[in-house]
Amino acid sequence: MQRLPEGQYEEINGYKNPDNVPDLPFVWRAMQWLRPGGALALVVHARLLFKRSKAGTDARNLLFRCLRFTGVVNGSDLAGTCVWPSVNAPFAILFAKNEAPRWPDGFHFISPYRDPRPAPGRVRIDAHDATLVQQQVVIARPQVLKVLYRGGGLDSEILERIEALEYPTLVQYWKRELGLRSGKGLQTTSNSQDARKLLDLPYLTTEFDGRFIVDSMKLQRFRKPRAHRIRDPLIYKGPMVVFREAALEDQSRRALLCFDDCVFNESFIGYSAHGNGNEAKDLTTYLLVLGLSNFPLYWSLMTSAKFGVQRKVFQREDLDALPIKRLAHFRDDERHALRQLAGALQAGRCDAEKI
């Protein structure tokens, strides 16, 4: 690439385009064509604002180091409306000056919401809803724009307090610290893999309409000798907790506990505690209670790159990213309360809404 205007970072020479997206290269090319200090306004895919992968975060951070942003309009909620007919992808409009930011430079961030009252093809933007965001904050806290989109300043403070606890994420705790297995369920769209090792196991699908506990004796048996992708067979070892991928309005059906070995399909994400010895029961009980609470929904809504933007289902990476207190750090009275709550759920004496 040619040299950028003086004062802008030359580290762009090491830029890697995340997932081969087609819009970001246009931003960099526009910076070459513009005179220093020239005004830039471009429409891009809104994924730029919310990406949480390392490649996506690095690409966004580099852009915020090299351009002085003056405004960002997040049009995610307007996708598929008459504001931009025939465009169903979430979009964003970037306004910037072609010069390096001077800390603590900031920009106005606004997320218009659908309003049925204006005439078709128009959108009302209230300037009082705009939030001033410093560019270095976007770099330091990758989730800040998602929090402002789906929450507000108070939510940002709540997330900061949670992060200050320095809990491990669920995937760090489950897989790296405890050495347990987790994963999405099997797919049956083709016969590419041998699935005979799973034959005759109880088979959990979305047709199951029970709550809290899976009675494996009431499930049909898995009868397919071959499947498209069987995943790691150890994730089907009980006891386990499975999360429904769909973010159900019925809070009592978001997570299920199964004590026995059980095969589940791709509509579920499972966390097996098999091999955890005497702690397995308390561990799965803990994860069930956590899954039935509103915390996974809230955390994903505030931090996920896709949930609440493009999708209304949990992704495995959303659940894996949940911060979780280690069970070993529970006090005796906390464990006792956890067991009592789980017993009340199983006996039908407590609703998930009370968690």
Specify the pLDDT at position 213. 87
8 confidence band (pLDDT: 50, 70, 90): low
* Coil/strand/helix, residue 217: helix
The residue whose two tokens read 């956590």 is: 290
Contact 231, 186 (CB under 8 A): yes
Q: Is the pLDDT of residue 3 over 50?
A: no
Angle at which helices 153-164 and 295-303 cross, to 10°: 110
The predicted pLDDT at position 1 comes to 39
Q: Which of 320, 213, 205 is nearest to 263 (CA)?
A: 205
Percentage of the chain exceeding pLDDT 90? 56
List the strands of the sheet with 91-97, edge to edge.
Answer: 39-45, 91-97, 68-74, 106-110, 131-134
- Reported confidence tier of residue 115, pLDDT bands at 50, 70, 90: low
Instruction: Answer whether residue 351 shows pLDDT above 70.
Output: no
As a whole number, mean pLDDT of residues 294-310 equals 88
Tell me the average pLDDT across 174-201. 93
pLDDT of residue 308: 81
Q: What is the pLDDT of residue 189?
A: 86
Six-digit token pair at 176? 């790296």
Q: What is the band of 2 on the pLDDT scale with cuts at 50, 70, 90?
A: very low
Q: Where are the beta strands (DSSP E) in 114-198?
A: 131-134, 181-184, 193-194
Asked if residue 222 has pLDDT above 90, the reply is: yes
Question: Poorest-confidence range of 152-156, 311-315, 345-349?
Answer: 345-349
Find the range with the poorest average confidence among 93-107, 145-159, 164-178, 338-352. 338-352
Whether the predicted pLDDT of 321 surpasses 50 = yes
Confidence at residue 9, expressed as pLDDT on a 0 to 100 scale: 53
> How far is Cα 301 from Cα 289, in angstroms, rounded to an integer?
19
Q: How many whole angstroms from its chain centre is CA 41?
A: 29
pLDDT score of 116: 65
Structural domains of the chain sorted by starting position, each given as residue range(s) with its CATH number in brackets: 10-151 (3.40.50.150), 170-354 (3.90.220)
Question: What integer pLDDT is reported at residue 34 of this predicted model?
Answer: 93
For residue 221, the 8-state DSSP code is B
Choose the most confident range, by mean pLDDT, from 125-134, 187-196, 321-330: 321-330
Question: Coil, strand or helix: which one is 61?
Answer: helix
Sign of torsion, CA 69 73 79 85?
negative
The total number of residues shown for the chain amounts to 355
Structure-token pair, residue 142: 């990758």
- Asked whether residue 174 carries a pLDDT value surpassing 90, the answer given is yes
* pLDDT at position 6 over 60: no
Vertex 178 angle, CA 172 and 182, to 5°: 65
Using the predicted structure, report yes or no on whether residue 258 has a pLDDT greater than 80.
yes
- The SS3 of residue 320 is helix
Q: How far apart are alpha carbons 166 and 326 in whole angstroms?
A: 11
Statement: residue 129 has pLDDT above 90: no
User: What is the rounded average pLDDT of the residues 248-263?
Assistant: 87
Which DSSP category does 246 fall into? B
Residue 288: exposure state from Cβ atoms within 10 A (0-12, 13-18, ≥19) = buried
Does residue 181 register a pLDDT over 50?
Answer: yes
In the predicted structure, residue 275 carries a pLDDT above the cut 60 = yes
Residue 222, token pair as written in the block: 């898995």
Other CB atoms within 10 A of residue 57 CB? 16
- In sequence order, the 6+-apart residues with CB closer than 8 A to the CB of 149 are 49, 50, 74, 76, 111, 308, 309
* Range with lowest mean pLDDT among 46-50, 82-86, 258-262, 272-276: 82-86
* Distance between CA atoms of residues 280 and 286, nearest Å: 10
Q: Cα–Cα distance between 59 and 67 in angstroms, integer?
A: 12
**pLDDT for res 180:** 97
How big is the chain by its Cα radius of gyration, in Å? 24
Instruction: Read off the pLDDT of each residue in 175-199 and give the average, rounded to a whole number.
Output: 93
Which positions ≥6 away from 257 have C-beta within 8 Å? 212, 213, 214, 239, 240, 241, 284, 285, 288
pTM of this structure:
0.82
Strands (E), 216-352: 226-227, 240-244, 255-258, 263-264, 268-272
For residue 352, the model assigns a pLDDT of 58
pLDDT band for position 307 (cuts 50, 70, 90): confident
Taking Cα atoms as reference points, which of 62, 73, 60 lies closest to residue 100?
62
Cβ proximity of 107 and 77 under 8 Å: no
Tell me what the pLDDT averaged over the chain comes to: 87
